[in-house]
Structure 1
């Protein structure tokens, strides 16, 4: 199947062609016709499957063939796309602008961490498409600075992560401001119990698309475990980068403090790197990501939430400096390499504290990961596991040798599984605005 067979107009097809695409990915070939029909959609798609174009392309098509804005009249927001993080919002808006280049549609993106005035100006000038994080959108709504009365299409992108970050209450407030009659598109990496509950309350007889087996890993990614003592992780990482001459590696840590500490250590080794996490300003996060993409940095050190939305073509290496305490996040992390037909390498540095986490991951992905001990970094066979802190300064540990159901509440039980780099949420706690 070709893009020319999907019912897209010439202006959109021209933009697609300019970027060298002719054949849609599986999620695109299924979601584009479904969205064009005008019905609701529930889609499960892993990172790197092309899902963003899977909804931006048909949204652009629906808006240009729908009622176009009358010359001289103020445009009303007709499509609202909600994302959990700033980086993902920026990425989605970039897709809207890329594929909408030859249409007359106007779009803008709003998120926290930067001054509101330029974003307010963009809204006040009139828009067709708004990409937003929930926090900043609610801030503008509270000031009566944005109207959602004309929204025809709503997209919840990476809805699973929005629930994990505690945005459910915010989402419900936003939904209450939308017209009853609209098209709803919900995209998620997995069909968890919580996602199904949200879909039941939001969607009306949706089309259902699942492009890959849930929680499967890409066969183009070579996965490897390096057993190592907890105190030797940093020197081992530096050794791997230098001895293998890695030029671009995305490194995941469990906490913001851990990310900052690792940057300091690697810089002393002469390895150029920066950290990206929720405590960084938006300008710092944008610069770090841009420098990494441009090849100015060898390593980008990231926490899970900050890395959501990072989309880098042909990223060769991903390293789990710390294993995630939620097994599904392993799949999300390593999915940032091995994209678009290219091969990738995912390396995990595993100490004795993380053996249960590794077993949980292997159980989830239904495979035993190969292990290789690096000479000079052999782990102490007599080392005892220590509790894992979920964030710096937090005294509670994480399942020291316990089963998943004992040391960590399951998602199914609470719907609020602890996230790496964040304390377990209280039921009524709201996420900090700066994280969106």
Structure 2
């Protein structure tokens, strides 16, 4: 199947070709016809499957075919949980709409409002937003959402996990009752099923990968090690095997900072990203990592959500996640788009139950190794695990910034 078989506009096919894509991915093959037909959609797919284009392309197709007199009104609204994901979606929209007379912009908290207000003022066709900043600008009278025809909730599972459910409900009250709703989630959890029942009208369901499975092209391994030897083992593995472009996950923001500092002291270039980092610091770190100037990027789960890094070769779980499903999300960042990847987990005695939970979820036992010189103490006793999940959640509203310092700036398409 080719993109032309999906009935998309010639301008979209031209834009797709400029991006180097020739054939739609499985989720695109399934979702695009449904969205073009006006159906509500509940879709699940692993990271790196082309999910964003599966809603961006048909939404652009439908908007381009409409004639709306007067000032541009927001006709399509895409809600995302973080700035990084909002910027990524905005980039996709800009790329695919480059030959269409449509205008889009991205808004999120943590940056000044005035440039966003100035970009909104002339009118928009498509708006990508995080919930907090969207509500702030709407309440100040800068946004009219009464003409929205299509609502997209991207990574809805993460929005629920970050506590955005109340903001989502407030946004829904601002939209027309009759509209198309597209809900995308990495998993079909019970909470997502409840939200889908409240939001969607006779939805079509698309699931292109079995629920809670890991990418087939990712080699997974566990290294057993004492908790206080993890950093030395990580540095040893990186230096011994010559790993480069390594995305390392820690449980807490403080842990990410400390690990990055320690790796730099061992001549391994590393930077940390998390919700407390400034926008400039996060943007610089991500840019250096993508361009292969930075060897290691240390991140918390929420900070890494939405990162789009092509052909990422290595993911390391320095700390196992407290929620087993997050393991699937983490390692899904490698082995993407047909490329092979490697996912390594450093597991101490404190995390044995977390490991069992992960193996039960993915229905597979992970290969276990002990690196010579880093043998764990068989008499070590488990200690309670610090829960970094709450510390990385969105902080209380302050000075109009609801997004907790997450993400990077995105300008409107010129």
- Please give the TM-score of this superposition, normalised by the length of structure 1: 0.90
* Equivalent of 1:229 in 204, 226, 231: 226
Q: CA deviation at 1:424?
A: 12
- 1:94 aligned counterpart, secondary structure: helix
Distance across 1 between alignment mates of 2:358 and 2:61: 40
Q: Is 1:25 aligned to 2:25, yes or no?
A: yes
Are positions 1:295 and 2:265 aligned together?
A: no
C-alpha displacement of 1:113:
1.4
Q: In the alignment, which of 331, 334, 345 is matched to residue 334 of structure 1?
A: 331
CA distance change for structure 1 residues 135 and 325 in 2, over 3 Å: closer, same or farther?
A: same
Rounded to whole Å, the distance in 2 between the matches of 1:261 and 1:89 is 28
1:434 to 380, 404, 413: 404
Match of residue 260, structure 1, among 251, 257, 261: 257
Aligned to 1:276: 273
CA RMSD of aligned residues (A): 1.7
Give the corresponding residue for 1:95: 92
Please tell me whether the aligned partners of residues 254 and 420 of structure 1 are also in contact (alpha carbons under 8 angstroms): no
SS for the counterpart of 1:433 is coil
Pairs within 5 Å for 1:343-382? 343-382=340-379
| SS in structure 1 of the partner of residue 105 of structure 2 | strand
Contact 2:162/2:394 (<8 A) preserved: no
Is this contact kept in 2: 1:390–1:423, CA < 8 A?
Answer: no
Structure 1 residue runs of 5 or longer lacking an equivalent are 392-418
2:202 is aligned with 1:171: no
Equivalent residue number for residue 53 of structure 2: 53
Q: Larger deviation: 215-224 or 113-122?
A: 113-122
Question: Is residue 303–residue 421 contact of structure 1 (8 Å, CA) maintained in 2?
Answer: no
Question: Aligned to 2:191, which of 186, 189, 194?
Answer: 194
Question: Could you tell me which residue of structure 2 aligns to residue 11 of structure 1?
Answer: 11
Q: Which has the higher contact order (CA 8 A, sep 6+)?
A: 2
Per the TM alignment, residue 189 of structure 1 is displaced from its structure 2 partner at its CA by 0.8
Distance 1:167 1:174, change over 3 A: same
Q: CA deviation at 1:425?
A: 10
Q: Distance in 2 between matches of 1:421 and 1:47?
A: 24
Distance 1:143 1:287 in 2: 32
Q: Secondary structure at the match of 1:434?
A: coil
Answer yes or no: is the 8 Å Cα contact 1:41–1:208 preserved in 2.
yes
- The alignment partner of 1:80 has SS state of strand
Deviation at 1:421, TM superposition (A): 4.5
The CA deviation at 1:112 is 1.1
Q: Name the counterpart of 1:398.
A: none
Aligned to 2:122: 125
Per-residue deviation, 1:422: 4.0
253 and 228 in structure 1: CA distance in 2 versus 1, 3 angstrom threshold: same
* Paired residues for 1:375-390 under 5 Å: 375-390=372-387
Is 1:76 aligned to residue 73 of structure 2? yes
- Residue 394 of structure 2 contacts residue 403 of structure 2 at CA under 8 Å; is this kept in 1? no
State the match for 2:242 in structure 1: 245
Instruction: Name the CA distance, whole Å, in 2 between partners of 1:163 and 1:201.
Output: 14
Deviations, residues 196-230 of structure 1 (Å, cap 9, x unaligned):
11111111001111111000001100000000100
Deviation per residue, 1:355-411 (Å, 9 max, x gap): 0000000000000000111111111111100111114xxxxxxxxxxxxxxxxxxxx
Please report how far the alpha carbon of residue 145 of structure 1 lies from its aligned counterpart in structure 2 after TM superposition.
1.1
Alpha-carbon contact 1:225-1:350 (below 8 Å) kept: yes
Sort the Cα spacing of 1:295 and 1:425 in 2 relative to 1 into closer, same or farther, 3 A: closer
Distance 1:112 1:272 in 2: 29
CA contact (8 A) 2:109 2:402 kept: no
Which of 317, 326, 330 does residue 314 from structure 2 map onto? 317
Does 2:282 align with 1:285?
Answer: yes
Q: What is the distance in 1 between the residues matched to 2:186 and 2:46?
A: 5
The offset of 1:433, in angstroms, is 3.4
Q: How far has the Cα of 1:118 moved from its partner?
A: 1.1
Structure-2 change in CA distance of 1:348 and 1:421 (3 Å): farther
- Whole-Å Cα distance in 2 between the matches of residues 420 and 318 of structure 1? 23
| Counterparts of 2:329 and 2:235, CA distance in 1 | 24
Assess if the C-alpha contact under 8 Å between 1:253 and 1:322 holds in 2: yes
Instruction: Map Cα deviations across residues 84-137 of structure 1 (whole Å, 9 max, x no partner).
Output: 011000000010001111111100000111111111111112110000000111
